[in-house]
Structure formats: C-alpha cells, structure tokens
Amino acid sequence: MSAHPSEHSEIQDPHGGHHSPWFYVGIAVFLGILTLIELGPLFGIYNLPATVLIGLSVVKFFTVVAFFMHLWDDDAIYTRVFGAPLFGAIAMVSVLMTLAHTWYPSPRRENFAVAERSYENWNGACSSWLVSAATNRSYCASPPLDPARVAMYAPKAGSSPSGPPAGNLDGKSPEDVKAMLVKRGETLFAANCVACHQADGKGIAGTYPPLAGSDYITDPNVHAKVIINGLGGPITVNGVAYNAQMAPFGQLNDYNIAALATYERNSWGNNLGVVTPAEVAAAR
C-alpha cells in the first residue's frame, strides 16, 4: 500500500512550516513604526492627509490578519470573512469624510483658535476667506471689523485712496523690481503699519503679531489678501495666539499693496521673495 501525505497535514501546513520568531518580531517592529507615524499629527509634530492615515490603518489591519492570525493561508476565510467588510468600511469612511469635508491634513494644536471660524462653522459675514497653511481648511480671516478702527486708516482728506501712483516695472530686471517695490513699501509701512508692527517688525507682545520671522506671511497670496481685506479675530503666529484687528488696505492700488508685502517679506531678516502687482490683482 503506497504512502500518501495525509489530508490533515496538507491543511495544517500548506506553506511548509510556520515563520521563525524573528519574522514576527520584525512584523511587530513594522507595526510599531506605523503607529508612531500615525501619532505624529496627534502631537502636532507634522501633518498627514487623511488618506495617508487611512492607508496606514489598512496596512496595519492586513498585516495583523495575514501574519499574526495566519489567515493568509486560507484564502477563502481571508477574502470572504475579512476582505469584503474591510473594503466596505473603507468605502463608508470615505463617503462620510467626503460629506464632512475632512479630506485635509490633520490640524496642529496652534490652529484650534480659528476652528470656530472655519468654513463649516462660520455663519456670519466675512470679507476675506483664507486657507490655513497648517490645516488646509478655509476659514474666515476677516470677520466684521471695528468701524472706529477702520476709520483710523481711512484716506485723509485730499489724499488719494489708492496711494501714490504705480511705478513702471516694464522691462526691469528682477533685482530692480524688488528694489523699487521695497523702497515704496518702506514709505507705506512707515505711514500705515509701524504703529502696530513696530519699526523692527517685532510687533507688540500679546497685542500685535510680529512680521519679522513670521510664519503667517510665507504664502504670498495669503499675505496679499491680509493687506487687502484686513484681519480680525484670533490667529496664531509663530505658535503665539493673538486677537487683534487689522484694518483693510484694499483701497490701495495693486502696486502699493505689492510694495507693502514685498517690503515686509524682505525686511528684519525675512527673505520671502517678491509679490508683484499682478499677484495682488489675482488675490483680489
């Protein structure tokens, strides 16, 4: 009578034996690394899009099921019992996140101050919507401002609301364009901004945020919109919360707003590049 491998042995060990303990140690280390990556946004170390966080969870789920529960060896159980519900759960979460508009990088703690003015929560009037560089969410950057404060910065009698005439930048080199804008911006800053942001660009502690080394003006489009539309309510600059109001300067022409932004972006140690009048026009 010839010998045949038993049916029991084939089912018990279809891949020729279990993995070594070191294999499972390696899988545990891999899962630990994925978990540490997922914890980064929770503690504000860095941001990750929701899609990446979901992807990491899916990888961890498959890893645990496939290698620790040994269901990879039984395709029927693996695909029927775990596969369909998993993909169904992914689809359900995706639909819910789409409906809730949460396909954005996870927020850092310093941005919770503006959460109440996010697009989803804010129901009041708003003259300027910006996109947070930290959360990628739209929020109202300029709720209704104090009329008395706005009046302080209104054009004086006999002066031009748009400020000095625009300079001609046609045919100028990038260096000349920057120099012209910085020169005009310095004059405008001294006339309109120095009382709050101070001559050294450091602002007033607890009241007016700094421009020197500011992480709030790194995006030129955001910078231009702040000058055009003003700013009101809580913001966070360099990790410090402020709740001041800045009057809008949208009455200035595109050249002068570009000059103000360019001066602020290239003074007090800043080196953030030039904002052109065309970029200001687009920001409007």
- The pLDDT tens digits of the residues spanning 161-184 come to 777 888 889 998 999 999 999 999
Using the 8-state DSSP alphabet, how is residue 49 labeled?
B
Greatest alpha-carbon pair distance for the chain in Å reads 116
> What pLDDT does 182 receive?
92
Which position has the higher pLDDT, 67 or 10? 67
> What pLDDT does 101 receive?
53
> What pLDDT does 109 receive?
42
Instruction: State the pLDDT confidence band at 19, using cuts at 50, 70 and 90.
Output: low
Instruction: Say if residue 259's pLDDT is above 60.
Output: yes
Instruction: Say if residue 227's pLDDT is above 70.
Output: yes
List the domain boundaries for the chain: 7-99, 110-283
Which of 124, 144, 122, 123 lies closest to 132, judged by CA? Answer: 122
3-class DSSP assignment, residue 194? helix
Superfamily of 110-283 according to CATH: Cytochrome c-like domain (1.10.760.10)
Cα(13)–Cα(122) distance, integer angstroms: 60
Token pair of 281 as six digits? 């026009």
Contacts of 152 (CB under 8 A, 6+ apart): 247
Which position has the higher pLDDT, 150 or 270? 270
Mean pLDDT for the chain overall: 74
Which of 86, 51, 93 lies closest to 65, judged by CA? Answer: 86
> What pLDDT does 204 receive?
85
- pLDDT average, residue stretch 193-211: 87
Instruction: Say if residue 9's pLDDT is above 50.
Output: no
Cα(15)–Cα(21) distance, integer angstroms: 16
Which position has the higher pLDDT, 245 or 264? 264
Instruction: Say if residue 119's pLDDT is above 90.
Output: no
Which position has the higher pLDDT, 271 or 14? 271
> What pLDDT does 97 receive?
61
Most confident of 15-19, 140-144, 203-207, 270-274: 270-274
Instruction: Say if residue 64's pLDDT is above 80.
Output: no
User: Which percentage of the chain shows pLDDT scores above 70?
Assistant: 61
Cα(259)–Cα(55) distance, integer angstroms: 45
Minimum mean pLDDT range among 40-44, 107-111, 146-150, 169-173: 107-111
Which position has the higher pLDDT, 174 or 234? 174
